Structure 1
Amino acid sequence: MNKQEIQESLSQGVVEGLLPEIEAYERVKPFDLDVVSMKATYYMLIGEIERGIGLLHEGLKKNPYMLDFLYNLGVLYEIVGDFYQAYEYFARLCLIETDQLDSSELKRIKLKMELQAQQATDKEIEELRLKMRKLQQGMDDLFGQRLINPWSYAEEKTVGVRLKTNSEYYIAGYNRLGILSAERNIPYDQAELRKVLTQGNSVKVEIGEQSLVPVLVRRTGNFEIKCEQERFQMYQACNVFHCYPADRDLEISGEEGMQIVVGQPMPLTAKPGRKKLILTIFVDGLSQTFLEENGFAESMPKTYRYFAAGIRCTNFYSTSEWTYPSMAGYFSGQYTVDHKMFYPEVDYRLPENVEVLGECLKRAGYTTAKIDGDWRTNPDYGYVRGFDRVLSGVYGEVMDIKQVISEAINHMDGLKESNQYVYINIGELHDITDNYKLPFDVQARLTLSELQDERATGSTSVKQQFNGNKKRRYQEQMRYVDRYLGFLFDYLNETFAPEDILVTLFSDHGQGYLVPNGGFFLADERTKVPLLIKGADIQPGVCPEYISSVDYLPILGKLAGFSVDLTGRRSVLPVFFGGNEKRKFTVSESIYPGDTYKIALRNEDMVFFFETKEAVQKDARVSLAEYSCSLRTPAGEEIRDEALMQECLRYVAEHLGYFQRYE
């Protein structure tokens, strides 16, 4: 039987002899997720509903945006009488389909919940109330699918609470005075997150070495720190962390009901065999192609001079064309189809099956900090994992380049005699794409023509088309960014010996408005980005090897001397950095519902471009039946090699996997 015949039999309730037919089809089309729906329907028809529910949950791990799975889970939970679970899955379906919590299914389930409550016993009522509270919590943050507005905690306070998506972390306010206003709105203020060591009205803190101990009180007032026989009286405003030095165990006690929160202590002394500082600088939207065509030394002279004695990777490619999926690749070492963080309206989190960047550095023995305001790498997405301290806020409001670099220098200087890892984000180059207000000196260097607003050149920042005026603004903004990076580099040179630090700089994507008209969407201008390294114990120079951004983790591990488990990752350690073999090709792809699917495969001999005719559907799947493709040399000359073309086409089909749609 073919797929259509199987589905027709299921719709008519005919199940005899059908399971072997479904399994036979699955062997031929192992990536067709419609098989999961067919099996779930089959088990529903024969009365094994729990088995069908289990299959659908496993299917959602492969593609969390499958509308059929969400709908069928709603149906099956309704059949077994779990109306609260049914409501959740129908609601999640609505959020993808219509962006509204409104459908006939939800109205029907709500009536059934009300009827169930009316008929319940006293004991059952309490259980139903617990389910309703859980459901309401899910609805408040739209079942984790709407973290797109950072720190969106409905009517709850935004500070003075644990992070909902990772309760190991406490959210505190952060400002110069350490005094918070009554109404805190994190999108327009800074927040400091700390991993909690202990909490209570009276707590003990074991100290094994000279450290800084972060302490927060949940109510403004006095508290006492006892260190052996000495007692120290302290006063703090609520919901901000203060740090206290200690080299012995502490007892901290507060007034009745004060509640003291202690973050993970930060060692102040370095261990041998480790760098004193590993620094990652992420510059959003920095194009390697632009630097090559316009001169790195001319465009970013301070950055060029700082990394002149380091390593420059000149064929380093991002896995995606925009920040959300690209940064997930850096942190996880996975391609977009693996980590699944690409759906613009439905939020997902960093994968749990691998250690992410912060966790790798923490395991390697470093005190870790992340200082940035990029809402696409916010703590709710999982970017808090592995970090002892996170300073966050929305870039442009309170976390611009001046603030980020100032806070980074303060943090590094406080821990300069320890082993620390610091990650910072610079977002100013993105201002050009979004047509935000430019700094005073940048405006002064541009003409009226170059300052013209060109918002119509693309419906989103991802889809920008070539624009010469934006290119000029980009060039001047790059010099602005370089000036402030220069302040950071001066501090590093003055404070750390060259052998004690490892500094890397990379970007997530280039810019669409740099791609010449008629160029492929995933052209070099959009996907070729810099990777700059200083402090590595290998010969400095230019690395021309083709490298993917998912290779960043093993490169960093190799240079810093810690291991990175590559299980579950697409990462390869390049030969230049001591690896055994070069990667077959780099992979850059665009999976964007409503747009065609695009992928680019590159190595030193070829560039393969592929684009579907059909747009990616709302369930994140796309048909590969009709497409266009090309095979060229990196210089742009056509390659006539049918065997190589077919190899690339086979790779695309295997790579896309469960995101393919089959007729």
Structure 2
Amino acid sequence: MKKELKQEIEQNFNNNEIKKVILILQQYKQKCPNDRDLWFYECILALTVGELEKAQKIADKCVHKFPTSYEAYYYQACVYQARKMVVEALRSYHIAYGLNTYTDYANNSVMEDIKMQIENLEDQFEKLSDEYVAENKAANIIKMLSFLNRKDTLWGKDEKIARSTINHSVGKEYWVTDDDLRYIGIYRAPLPQFIGTDNLSLPRTKAEFLKFKKKGNYNYVKGSTDEYLLPVASAEANNIHTFKSEDKEYKVTQLFPQHFNYYRVKNGIQIESMKQAYYGYPIPLEHKQGRRKLVLSFFVDGLAQEVINGDDFEKLMPNTYKFFSKGTICTQAHSCSEWTYPSLATCVSGLDTLHHMMFHDKLDGELPKNSPTLIEYFKGKGYYTSKMDGEWRSIPSYGYARGLDQYVYQHQSMGARAEQEIMDVIEHLETFKETDQYLWMAVGDLHDVADGLDLSDAVQKNLTLEERELDELGVTSVKQNYSAKKTAMYKKTIQYFDMLFGFLYTYIENNYTDDEILISLFADHGQGYLIPTGKPFLSKERTKVAFMFRGANVKQQVTDEIISTADYLPIMCRLADIQYDAASIDGKLPKTFGGLEEREYTITESLHPKDRYYAVANARDYEIYFENSEKTDEEGRFLLGDYKVFGFYKDAENTPITDAELLKRYENIFLERIAEHIIYE
């Protein structure tokens, strides 16, 4: 019946029988109000009758909800084209073409139309470019340059900069997003000439992404603060900067190009450079009332709460236990997803997977622009914001640069190992000690256990030969089965980490009081090889994560309140006295941190192309699972097959739930949740 109605709608569109289309759409909307295809028909209808604003809203909603759908971008392009928005239309057509090249979903007529429209619009684009240059319209020229530079990455859908050794991006300008141009400078290399031009890629060279106020030979610092740190990168070697104040002049040589030096300068100083330079935005050296001197988001990739429950926490991580036992330790925090890419997006946005839709393992995505990120909230409060990590699943083009003053990156398998990252972070904290700073840092080496990579020598010396006899080589970490050997390696790696973390904790305690800081340590998922054989895919060993806080406004307590990783944003904002838009996110402020009520349950779900959809609701006394029988497509949609709903009480026997009413209630919760992702035929 549904398929017949769709065929009838399309036939009437082809015959230009608009009144019949409207009538059938009304019938279809009553039967399947959540069908994604219905939105497409409504968009085509609005476009056909000339309601362009309505068509735009529908098309934008489709792209937001299904960012890997070629059809969503195709209809968005059609609307842009009807509104004579040449650059926007051309961009969306290109994305539609690129997505279909990957998914191979489109029919020939649609692809032929996309090709034809791209050809027509490219002629218009060239004419527009010539006009903007002739009329010297700087803003429009920048828009065109951004378009051309981001075209090669399909506007962030195919961005490999973070893990490509071929892409020599260090020492060059880089469009992070359509409206964010940065210079990528070599990070902390006293003799950068030893790096070699062939190694100026992010896996091989650590770099920092900075916005620049201007480039050229002249700059000045003007503001309301007495002193600033001024980042300056030289495009050429042996540049001489002349710093001029009212009564003094200083000549400073910057020997090496392609990296930022930080100059402490007075307000009002002028800089003239002999050769071209990139002048970053001046960083005010001041502390202000109402802000913390240090806010730290310490992300430990893959740290499962199940291995640090009870006495095991102090045993495995004595330094971390000692530090955070003076704050709040959450023992029932559950991730919204089962792997890093969607989980990190949740932590920074407060949105769960179905609302940020960063779910695809091959197609890159971007955080929804209509929802502020955690970093943007701290930037809005006046913090100097930085991010230091080697996670290629949270790179700038994914939206993580929004609100960031500085982003430091090298692939975690190269220059961002735990021992390097801890020392770099301490150096960073000391550098910006005179600012109120927010820093996101990450340690990702726990993934090495599942990936079968060589662990630190300090870990290797504690492993027996039996423990080093790996199994399941080549299987992605998310899908690995229980392994006692990997579990042993994992725990010994955690112990090594804790030794390193101790240096950071000591630095913080020696330089700050608790009312000057807000420190959090959190994780994104557990590990599949911790789950005993026979237990469900989304068992607690995979979903329960480390979650702890210390500093001003943080009580000294251990809480077993049910908490979601989507709650990370509201928790951090509340503890830092920052207002946030609670209505637009999935995260809730737990009662532990001042919220009005506790969650009844959290939901962890697995939405992954070519895999079945799984979900689990974790309540205080039980866990209820949903497992679909059909595989998910490239757009995050699936047929609703012979799904199963079952659960267990959280008692010593893990007793199965037989309460039909309870199971039915959660069945309805799951079905309502996934309604927009079901393929209706």
TM-score between both structures, scaled by the size of structure 1: 0.90
Map of 2:35 onto structure 1? 32
Q: CA deviation at 1:139?
A: 4.3
Alignment partners' CA distance in 2, 1:164 and 1:254: 27
Q: Which of 522, 532, 536 does residue 538 from structure 2 map onto?
A: 522
- In 2 relative to 1, CA 39–385 (structure 1 residues): closer, same or farther, beyond 3 Å? closer
- In 2 relative to 1, CA 137–246 (structure 1 residues): closer, same or farther, beyond 3 Å? closer
Map of 1:215 onto structure 2? 232
Q: Which of 100, 118, 137 does residue 94 from structure 1 map onto?
A: 100
Map of 2:207 onto structure 1? 191
Q: CA deviation at 1:316?
A: 0.6
Map of 1:423 onto structure 2? 440
Map of 1:606 onto structure 2? 622
Q: Which of 165, 174, 190 does residue 177 from structure 1 map onto?
A: 190
Instruction: Summarize the alignment of residues 382-421 of structure 1 with structure 2, pairs less than 5 Å apart.
Output: 382-421=399-438
Map of 2:656 onto structure 1? 638
Q: CA deviation at 1:2?
A: 4.6
Q: CA deviation at 1:499?
A: 2.8
Alignment partners' CA distance in 2, 1:121 and 1:445: 62
Alignment partners' CA distance in 1, 2:566 and 2:385: 21
Q: Does the Cα contact within 8 Å between 1:358 and 1:386 map onto a contact in 2?
A: yes
Q: Structure 1 unaligned segments of length 5 or more: list them.
A: none
Q: Which of 551, 554, 559 does residue 543 from structure 1 map onto?
A: 559
- In 2 relative to 1, CA 592–397 (structure 1 residues): closer, same or farther, beyond 3 Å? same
Aligned partner of residue 323 in structure 2, secondary structure: helix
- In 2 relative to 1, CA 412–157 (structure 1 residues): closer, same or farther, beyond 3 Å? closer
Map of 1:365 onto structure 2? 382
Q: Which of 372, 378, 387 does residue 355 from structure 1 map onto?
A: 372
Q: Which of 325, 336, 343 does residue 319 from structure 1 map onto?
A: 336
Map of 2:678 onto structure 1? 660
Q: CA deviation at 1:518?
A: 1.4
Instruction: Summarize the alignment of residues 507-656 of structure 1 with structure 2, pairs less than 5 Å apart.
Output: 507-635=523-651, 636-656=654-674
Alignment partners' CA distance in 2, 1:95 and 1:401: 39
Matched, 1:240 2:240: no
- In 2 relative to 1, CA 466–254 (structure 1 residues): closer, same or farther, beyond 3 Å? same
Map of 1:69 onto structure 2? 72
Q: Does the Cα contact within 8 Å between 1:504 and 1:532 map onto a contact in 2?
A: yes
- In 2 relative to 1, CA 191–632 (structure 1 residues): closer, same or farther, beyond 3 Å? same
Alignment partners' CA distance in 1, 2:47 and 2:539: 48
Q: Does the Cα contact within 8 Å between 1:466 and 1:517 map onto a contact in 2?
A: yes
Q: CA deviation at 1:460?
A: 1.6
* Residues 324-333 or 105-114, more deviating: 105-114
Map of 1:142 onto structure 2? 154
Alignment partners' CA distance in 2, 1:210 and 1:515: 54
- In 2 relative to 1, CA 397–370 (structure 1 residues): closer, same or farther, beyond 3 Å? same
Alignment partners' CA distance in 2, 1:461 and 1:327: 16
Letter paired with 1:162: Y
Alignment partners' CA distance in 1, 2:126 and 2:366: 39
* Residues 441-450 or 651-660, more deviating: 651-660
Map of 2:249 onto structure 1? 231
Letter paired with 1:633: Y
Q: Identity percentage over the alignment?
A: 31
Alignment partners' CA distance in 1, 2:552 and 2:24: 58
Q: CA deviation at 1:464?
A: 1.3
- In 2 relative to 1, CA 389–46 (structure 1 residues): closer, same or farther, beyond 3 Å? closer
Alignment partners' CA distance in 1, 2:122 and 2:485: 63
Q: Which of 483, 488, 512 does residue 504 from structure 2 map onto?
A: 488
Alignment partners' CA distance in 1, 2:150 and 2:553: 49
Letter paired with 2:576: A
- In 2 relative to 1, CA 365–72 (structure 1 residues): closer, same or farther, beyond 3 Å? closer
Q: How many residue pairs were aligned?
A: 658
Matched, 1:251 2:263: no
Q: Does the Cα contact within 8 Å between 1:624 and 1:653 map onto a contact in 2?
A: no
Letter paired with 1:18: V
Alignment partners' CA distance in 2, 1:613 and 1:271: 56
Q: Does the Cα contact within 8 Å between 1:147 and 1:381 map onto a contact in 2?
A: no
Q: CA deviation at 1:435?
A: 1.0
Map of 2:7 onto structure 1? 7
Map of 2:137 onto structure 1? none
Letter paired with 1:393: Q
- In 2 relative to 1, CA 232–111 (structure 1 residues): closer, same or farther, beyond 3 Å? same
Letter paired with 1:501: I
* Residues 197-206 or 239-248, more deviating: 197-206
Alignment partners' CA distance in 2, 1:70 and 1:463: 32
Q: Structure 2 unaligned segments of length 5 or more: list them.
A: 134-140
Q: CA deviation at 1:182?
A: 2.7
Q: Which of 12, 22, 25 does residue 22 from structure 1 map onto?
A: 25
Alignment partners' CA distance in 1, 2:678 and 2:45: 23
Q: CA deviation at 1:609?
A: 0.7
Q: Does the Cα contact within 8 Å between 1:3 and 1:25 map onto a contact in 2?
A: no
- In 2 relative to 1, CA 534–43 (structure 1 residues): closer, same or farther, beyond 3 Å? closer
Alignment partners' CA distance in 2, 1:251 and 1:144: 37
Q: Does the Cα contact within 8 Å between 1:329 and 1:549 map onto a contact in 2?
A: yes
Q: Does the Cα contact within 8 Å between 1:280 and 1:422 map onto a contact in 2?
A: yes
Alignment partners' CA distance in 2, 1:153 and 1:136: 22
Alignment partners' CA distance in 2, 1:404 and 1:122: 46
- In 2 relative to 1, CA 102–250 (structure 1 residues): closer, same or farther, beyond 3 Å? farther
Q: CA deviation at 1:288?
A: 0.3
Letter paired with 2:428: H
Q: CA deviation at 1:66?
A: 2.6
Alignment partners' CA distance in 1, 2:383 and 2:128: 50
Q: Does the Cα contact within 8 Å between 1:314 and 1:544 map onto a contact in 2?
A: yes
Q: CA deviation at 1:152?
A: 6.1
Q: Deviations over 1:358-414 (max 9, x none)?
A: 111122232222111111111121112222222111111111112211111111112
Q: Does the Cα contact within 8 Å between 1:358 and 1:387 map onto a contact in 2?
A: yes
Q: CA deviation at 1:514?
A: 0.6
Alignment partners' CA distance in 1, 2:555 and 2:57: 53
RMSD of equivalent CA atoms: 3.4
Q: Deviations over 1:172-218 (max 9, x none)?
A: 12133163533311221111122333433211211423221212222
Q: Does the Cα contact within 8 Å between 2:73 and 2:93 map onto a contact in 1?
A: no
Alignment partners' CA distance in 1, 2:76 and 2:452: 43
Map of 2:62 onto structure 1? 59
Letter paired with 2:10: L
Q: Deviations over 1:495-518 (max 9, x none)?
A: 222332221111011101111111
Q: Does the Cα contact within 8 Å between 1:92 and 1:143 map onto a contact in 2?
A: no
